[in-house]
Amino acid sequence: MKTFIISTSTTEHLAKKIKERTKSFKIIFPEKSKEGKRCFPDGEVYMKISKANRLRQKRVVVLHSGAPEPNQGLVELELILQILKDNKVKPEVFFTYFPYSMQDKVFEKGETNMAENLVKKLVNYYKVKKIYIIDPHFGGMGWVKKYPINSVSAVPFLIKKARQDFGKDILFLSPDKGGKRRTGILGLKKERLDSFKVEIFSSRLNFKRRILGVVDDIIETGGTLLKFYDLAKKSGAKKIIVLATHGILPAGILKIKKKYSKLYLTNTIKQKEANIDITALILKNIV
Ligand code: R5P
């Protein structure tokens, strides 16, 4: 039975690559408005899958990335899932990057765990059977186990590439404990003061003459990795490279690229600086 992949506008770059690589999937790019646009003039999202009624009893995977434009993307995703629900299709969803993933717990009273709420809605309301997520920010958290989530990691992919270029002796580190929870790679202590300012603490680090590979899930403002660089440099590192899965803000990515000896960044989010293609990782998991 052929698998149908429905691509939102954030994953068109990946869906096109899948189409080039294999004939095992039928790719659906939802139709646009009469003006050829994804949004109406007032900003509301338009969505149409005219052959949705033919997808009943078929395996359907919706491919989505939570960036750029997380809010528009979310509405696109919900409209697609609603159209599928209207047509009695129970799909799977593959997130190359999960939107709202950093709001993954109630940090302060009066907030909500948006990441879990979204997962809950997909499973309970839209009847999504399986959710694949590449390097979810909430990987390893307790609540994740309650849902049919399949975490897929790009980290082994990134490490393999870095070792090919810089040899086997790279010392891999996470910039914070969250990184350690997700990957098992030793992490430093980090405190985030606001969206732009972070502090990383360490005592008695000695990276003399080492090649350091800092492994992080996300580059947003670049604040975390800039701080990490200063610390690692002071501690004597010879070379420092970055292995990152999701590149969210181009300005942050460029700052990191300039500072570090090398940046390995995947294309889970469409970015000019992405140099590691994860199409094979997607295919390996959904075949
Ligand atoms: C934080 O917990 C994440 O793992 C990343 O380290 C963080 O989101 C990166 O953001 P920024 O580039 O803005 O420091």
DSSP string, 145-201: GGS-EEEE--HHHHHHHHHHHH-TT-EEEBSSHHHHHHH---B-EEEE-SSS-EEEE
Q: What residues form DSSP beta bridges with 26? A: 4
Q: If we measure between CA atoms, which residue out of 96, 74, 68 comes closest to residue 5?
A: 96
Pocket test for ligand 1, best of 182, 217, 221, 246 (most atoms within 8 A of CB): 217
Place of tokens 């972070």: 198
Whole-number Å distance, alpha carbon 179 to ligand 1 midpoint, is 10
217 C-beta closer than 6 A to ligand 1:
yes
Judge whether 248 and 119 are in contact, CB under 8 Å.
no
Q: What is the pTM of this model?
A: 0.97
Element (H, E) at 67: none
DSSP state, residue 143:
G
Query: 3-class SS at 239?
Result: strand
CA 246, 184, 230, 199 torsion: positive or negative? positive
The pLDDT score that the predictor gives to residue 203 is 64
Measured by CA distance, the residue closest to atom 7 of ligand 1 is 218
187 C-beta closer than 6 A to ligand 1:
no
Q: What residues form DSSP beta bridges with 130? A: 92
Query: Can you read off the two tokens belonging to residue 49?
Result: 């899958």
CA quadruple 235, 241, 243, 247: dihedral, nearest 10: 100
Pocket test for ligand 1, best of 101, 174, 183, 220 (most atoms within 8 A of CB): 220
> CA-CA distance, 136 to 49, in Å (whole number)?
28
Determine the residue type at 50. Answer: S
Per-position pLDDT tens, the chain of length 287 = 789 999 999 999 999 999 999 999 999 999 999 999 999 999 999 999 999 999 999 999 999 999 999 999 999 999 999 999 999 999 999 999 999 999 999 999 999 999 999 999 999 999 999 999 999 999 999 999 999 999 999 999 999 999 999 999 999 999 999 999 999 999 888 888 999 888 887 766 788 989 999 999 999 999 999 999 999 999 999 999 999 999 999 999 999 999 999 999 999 999 999 999 999 999 999 99
Q: What Å distances lie between residue 14 and 238, 254, 282, CA to CA? A: 36, 22, 9
User: 36's torsion region: left (phi>0), alpha (psi -120 to 50) or beta?
Assistant: left
Place of tokens 């338009």: 46
135 C-beta closer than 6 A to ligand 1:
no
The pLDDT score that the predictor gives to residue 188 is 86
Whole-number Å distance, alpha carbon 97 to ligand 1 midpoint, is 14
Query: 3-class SS at 82?
Result: helix
235 C-beta closer than 6 A to ligand 1:
no
Place of tokens 């809605």: 121
> What burial class does residue 95 get, using C-beta atoms within 10 Å of its C-beta: 0-12 exposed, 13-18 middle, 19+ buried?
buried
> CA-CA distance, 78 to 269, in Å (whole number)?
19
Measured by CA distance, the residue closest to atom 2 of ligand 1 is 178
